[in-house]
Each structure stands twice: as structure tokens, then as C-alpha cells.
Amino acid sequence: MGRKIRALIVDDSSVMRKIIERALRQAGLDLETVCEASNGAEALDLLASQQVDLILSDINMPTMDGLEFVRQLQARNLAAKVPVVMITTESSEEHVKQAIQAGARGYIRKPFTADHVKERVLPLVGIQ
């Protein structure tokens, strides 16, 4: 599909981080690098020294949850530059609205398949 993508996956479960990475590859993304963080605060630290093209983040995490993480990205002017997709078990319209208001560009509900990732993530990184 061409473009190489640097992804950041934020989830307190290391197993889920691996599953999300596998789903990104199955969806057809050519991943150049995959960075991992277990909460929003770790992810912000990582972004101070790493550039990424795509962020996938859980919502329910200890220390700093996904919504606060996206708000912090917005405050740093990063959410407009790097698309953020929430991947979470929370599925209400209210949670989606909160995520979008915070600055997220996409929302995937767990459980998910590579097809859900393909449908919601690829357009955000310019791959149809």
C-alpha cells in the first residue's frame, strides 16, 4: 500500500497492544515502527522524543486515561497533526462524543476485527 507508518499504541494491557499491532498489519498498514505505552502519561513522555503518524489508545487506563491523554495532545497542538483512534470496551454514544470532543478522530469498540481497523484507521492515514 506504499506509505510506511509509525504507530503508537497506548493500552495498559501488553496483550492488547500486541493484538492491536497485529490487527494494524492485517488491515494492510506497512508499519515502520510501533511504539508502546501503558497509559497516557507514558505516551506523552514518549511523544516528546518520538514522531509518529498514528496513535491508537484505550480509554480505561491507570495514571492517565485515554480521554485525558487526547486532551493533553490537543493542548499541545498534536491531535490535529496526528490522528488518534480510541480502541475501547466503552461503547455508548456519550463516550464517543467525549472522545471526539477531546480530539480523537476515530473510535473502535472492543472486541474488534482487522476489518474494523481497516475501515476506521486506513482513511485517517491517507490509505483507502
Partner 1 sequence: MDRQRGEIRGEAVELSRASGKSGINNQNNRKRAPVTVSLRESITQISDPHSLDASVGEVFELMLGWRCRREEDPRVQEANSVTAVVGFGGVLSGACILRSGAQAALAIAARMTGAEFTEVDETVLDGIGEICNMLAGSWKGRFPELAAHCGLSIPAVIAGSDYNLRVQAPEFELRHTYRFENLSFEVMIVCDGLQ
Name the residues that contact partner 1, by CB under 8 A: 12-16, 18-19, 22, 60-62, 88-96, 107-113, 116
Q: How far is the CB of 15 from partner 1 (least distance, A)?
A: 4
HSE-up of residue 4 (Cα within 13 Å, Cβ side): 5
For residues 50 and 113, which CB has a smaller minimum distance to partner 1 in the complex?
A: 113
Q: Which is nearer to partner 1, 108 or 122 (CB)?
A: 108
Query: Between 89 and 101, whose beta carbon lies closer to partner 1?
Result: 89
**Shortest spacing between CB 97 and partner 1, in angstroms:** 9
Looking at residue 59, what DSSP letter applies? Answer: S
Residue 55 C-beta: closest distance to partner 1, Å: 18
Side-chain half-sphere CA neighbours of 111 within 13 A: 1
User: Distance between terminal CA atoms of the chain?
Assistant: 9
Q: What is the CA radius of gyration of the chain?
A: 13
